[in-house]
Amino acid sequence: MVSILPLKKFWAVLVVVLVLAQGGCLATNNNELNSSEEADSGEESTAFNLDEFRLCRISPSPVLGQPKVETPELVMALGYQCAGDVYNQFATLMEQVIEQRAAKGYNWGKRSTILASSSEGNNKARSILIMGNSHTRQLTSTLLCQYKDEVVDSTMLYPVPEHPLQGVLKVQMKHNLIVYAVTNSPFFHSLDWDTILLENTIQQPLSSMDAIILGNINGAHKSAEEENDESELTGADKAMAALMTAFQETYPELTVDGDIPGPTVKDVADKYDGGPIIYVSAFASRFAVRSSEMMEQVKHETNVHFVDGRRYIHEMKELQQQNENEETPSVYECSSDSRAQVGTCNTDVSDSRFKQGHRCTGGRGGHPDLIAWDVITMLRKIFRSEDQTRY
């Protein structure tokens, strides 16, 4: 007997099939992003000069096998540092992608400010909230590294001792822009996440944010009390559990529970009516199906926009297939989970972490640079449409 799927379920299955067929790349033609790039070109194309691009280059360059380079001059530390021949092969591929796009005359990657700024200095005050997991954190740290000359001041509104990256960061930028960053926070694991984040930490209503940049938010976390073998918990897990307990003692009326999954794009859209949401999918392919499902939930929301976090991984794979010989390792993913020590790109396609890790950064930048430029392109397009003014 042949069964016929209901139409709604058919489309849901089709989305998953398309994702898997593309190796974890969300099925999207990036038309919205491409049109914004074309609208924002405006400058004559000149000879390619990589120094014109705002790449987050770690200096001094990391050395393979050595401790990671400390970056006290940056407001967020740069993890997953890489070096060596394999990383350099990846960086060369990435630079080819940059050069190809530069040939089209786009300002992509070369903008002097995150948002368009007025020469008269009367820039409209903007507040942007960034929420997500460690992939979103890597994107945020890269963005703030690219524009470190635009940072005026930074403050931890809710510091987490020994694990500062799980706190709430406020960064005052030039040109009247404030960036709030909250990644892998225990506050996400509550039905009152918006109240906790905005009223108990940022001290502003969610609607006061001009835009939200949203990444994937991890599922439920194990708590130290529930885990029989605490040795299996990472330091971050233990810090998360301890912070949940401390917060619950301070605010007993607000439930923070590791069994509560973090908000989806739809959850955020339902509670936020202040402006656009830019959803940025993760670098790792294991999030692709979940990301597609979440985008399906909000496909009729006019204020939700999409940036594919794996877009250039696939472009680099195509380039490598055109140029490589069989002895060249598969460097296009260039993932790494090395935190304290400088590693290099994972090139073992049989390794489960090949597509699943974070992305290498180093003396020549990394894949998060390109996605940060896409986010900036999208922000500028959205705000230009709102203001009806091109500075």
Residue 329 is predicted with a pLDDT of 73
In this structure, the strands spanning 304-307 and 126-132 are unpaired
CA dist 317 and 315 (Å) reads 5
Residue 295 is predicted with a pLDDT of 85
Enumerate helices (H) and strands (E) in the chain, giving the number of each: 10, 9
Helix 367-387 × helix 84-102 angle, to 10°: 30
Digit-coded pLDDT (tens) for 209-238: 999 999 998 765 554 344 434 445 555 667
Residue 31 is predicted with a pLDDT of 60
Digit-coded pLDDT (tens) for 150-204: 999 999 887 766 666 667 899 999 999 999 999 888 888 888 888 888 777 888 8
CA dist 334 and 367 (Å) reads 8
Report how far Cα 59 is from the mean position of its chain's Cα atoms. 22
CA dist 357 and 351 (Å) reads 11
SS3 131: strand
CA dist 201 and 195 (Å) reads 9
Please name every residue paired with 361 in a beta bridge, in sequence order, or none if there are none: 81
Mean pLDDT computed over 339-364:
91
Helix 84-102 × helix 311-323 angle, to 10°: 100
**CA-wise closest residue to 372 among 35, 138, 169:** 138
Token pair 């999409």: residue: 306
**CA-wise closest residue to 164 among 181, 144, 145:** 181
